[in-house]
Amino acid sequence: AMNRSFRNVLFGAFGKVDEEDAAMAAAGGERVQEASVGDAAMLLSGAGSVIVCPGYGMAVAQAQHVVGELAEILEANGTQVRYAIHPVAGRMPGHMNVLLAEAKIPYTSLMELEEINEDFKNTDVALVVGANDVVNPAAKHNPASSIYGMPVLNADLARSCIVLKRSMRPGFAGIENELFFAPNTVLTFGDAKDTLEKVVEALR
């Protein structure tokens, strides 16, 4: 398991956000915690278990091969890496499976939502690669949300959550994602492929 004090120190260093950037603030006034590539690499290197949550943004960035590279490095260091596949992630059924198979990621590491959702709470890091609505906790508890009742991946329950995202723009459902403002979540902005290539470089 991740060293608790190390994680607290790391999270204490986050949140240095430009106050002028209104797009970073939620309607309720909460702010996101931004993490550099180095911060993200440190969190991942200290993790005993990682669940990757891929989404449409991974497809757009063509980031599946570098996701596989990152997994190889983490696994070589003894980290358990698995992939949580949401049935509607991407733009067609099976979209994520096809992309991850292209990257030669073993099929046995791909887990359906029902198989893996209970495991997030015992996982050190959830790594969200270009997924949005399918990891929004509002679906679980906010009856006013347009996605209320939709099954979502429990990325919010991991000890830490790293979200790779191009911008604060909403996903397909057009709504704000509560996950991005959670105290255990950090966001690393930029093209997912570029970001992951830099993370891989930092971990080599």
Question: Catalytic residues, which ones?
Answer: 133
Q: What burial letters (b/e) apply to 15-50, b meaning 16+ CB within 10 Å?
A: eeeeeeeeebeeeeeeebbbbbbebbbbbbebbbbb
Structure tokens at 162: 């790293």
**Strands 80-85, 160-165: pairing kind:** unpaired
- Which of 168, 162, 79, 81 has the alpha carbon at shortest distance from 127? 162
Which H or E run includes 195? helix 192-203
User: CA torsion angle for 42, 127, 84, 160 (degrees, to 10)?
Assistant: 80
In angstroms, what is the C-alpha Rg of the chain? 16
The beta-strand segments (E) located in the chain are 49-54, 80-85, 110-112, 125-129, 160-165, 185-189
